[in-house]
Amino acid sequence: MEKYVLITGASSGLGEQTAVRLAQKGIKVFAGVRKEKDKDKLNSLHKNITAVFLDVTDSSSIDQAYKEILEKTKVLSALINNAGIALAGPVEFLPVDMLKKQFDVNVFGAIAVTQKFLPLMDKNNAKIINLSSMASYGIFPFVSPYCASKRALDMFFNSLLLETKNKNLKIVSIKPGVVSTPIWNKSVDTAEKIFENVTQDCKDKYEKELLFLADNARKNTNRGLQPEKIANLIAKILDAKNPKLSYNIGKDSFFAKYMSMLPLNVSNFLVKTGIKLRIK
């Protein structure tokens, strides 16, 4: 029997690599994209990939993607919630609209897509795989919107796992460390635009920290985990009959996990001290 999988945010990076990896395994992949050029590119990568327009923040786009997928299959073996953005800045000056955008994509978008496609989820051994992050441990300053959204994503879907009447449904959270993807450059570009328009008081308070973090984020684009490693993990999870509920991948992810187990005052002291030393 052919397996069908839907991946959101598949236009580049991890989503694209996962689509290709699963297609190579013989899985029929619906790859969610938002631009025509990305749709053409994904369709050309492998015969088992079908790109569909899917903006997770737009209910009409989700409905249309559902109709297109329903024409090809009545059963989904897996939904991979990968679409996401990373927004950053000091809490003291974060625009509330920016916070809403962060949650619209990373949290509410994933919930909306899941609610729509759950009726198609295979009752035998269907899986929902969420691309969370080590940021969900909440120990990183200046990226609180991203951290909070990933923590909320994990909380909502753990509740779904507790509530669902489909006893065979598996829900998995993958918490990678830094991944080499375009998300970091996009995050810095957005933060820099915001920083250009803040008050001088904000610049005086946080300029050194934000310049350091921006430089570090741009370096992450090239030095993080290769997306192929996470794509391979996703492929293994899809094959597993009883996967774990949560996977850490990358040394920095395990470090964040263990740091979060320390008393909060201790972890806060270590993080603040570490940033001060690196800025110097």
Query: Catalytic one among 4, 66, 137, 146?
Result: 146
Q: How sure is the predictor about 8, in pLDDT bands with cuts at 50, 70 and 90?
A: very high
4 in active site: no
**In sequence order, which residues have a C-beta less than 8 Å from that of residue 35 and are 6 or more positions away?**
11
Residue 44's CB: how many other CB atoms inside 10 A?
A: 10
- Dump strand ranges (E) for the chain: 4-7, 28-33, 49-53, 78-81, 127-131, 170-176, 246-249
pTM of the model: 0.91
Q: Which of 72, 82, 90 is nearest to 28 (CA)?
A: 72
**pLDDT of 182-228, one tens digit each?**
665 665 566 566 566 666 777 778 777 777 777 776 666 667 789 99
- Dump strand ranges (E) for 99-207: 127-131, 170-176
DSSP 8-state symbol, 87: -
261 token code pair: 């187990």
Distance CA 80, CA 245 (A): 14
**pLDDT of 30-82, one tens digit each?**
999 999 999 999 999 999 999 999 999 999 999 999 999 999 999 999 999 99
Using only C-alpha atoms, the chain has a radius of gyration, in whole angstroms, of 19
Evaluated on CA atoms 245, 251, 255, 256, the torsion sign reads negative
Question: How much is the mean pLDDT over the chain?
Answer: 90
In the chain the domains, ranked by start, together with CATH numbers, are 4-279 (3.40.50.720)
